[in-house]
Structure 1
C-alpha cells in the first residue's frame, strides 16, 4: 500500500507455473480420473484466470473451488492432497 502511495508499483506475483499444474493434474487425475481435465480450468475460470496464471494468492480459493466440484466420497482424500499442495506451493 505504501509502495502504491509513493507511486511505486509492486512486482506482479509470479504464476505457480507448470510444476504446480503438473502436480495438480497428476494428483487430481489419480483421484477422479479424466474429469480432472474439465475441473482444473473450470475452477480457475471461477476466479477469472487461466490455470497457467494462478498465483499463490489464488491458491486457497482455487483449491476450495475444486473441492466444491468433487464427490462427497472423495472429499477426505482431496483435503489431504489440498493441504500438501498448499504447503508445497503456498
Structure 2
C-alpha cells in the first residue's frame, strides 16, 4: 500500500496564498468593543477569543432558565438580601 504525503506550509510546498491575520479587526473587537483588559486579551487563545466574541459556537450563547439556575447555583455571587430571586 502506497501512501502519499500531503504538502505542508512549513515545507513551502503549498502554492495558494493565505490572507494575513486580521490583527486590526481582532484588536478592535477585543479591546474596544468587548473592553477586555489587555492582560486578559493577550492571555486568550484564538478559540477562546472567537467564542467570547461570538464568532464561533452554537446557538445564541444565552442559557435557558434551567441553565441560568444551574449557573447561579454553581457560581453564587453574593446577591444582596434585598434582591429577590424567583
Q: TM-score range by the shorter chain?
A: 0.3 to 0.5
TM-score (norm 1): 0.34
More helix by share: 1
- CA radius of gyration, larger in: 2
Q: Which has the higher contact order (CA 8 A, sep 6+)?
A: 1
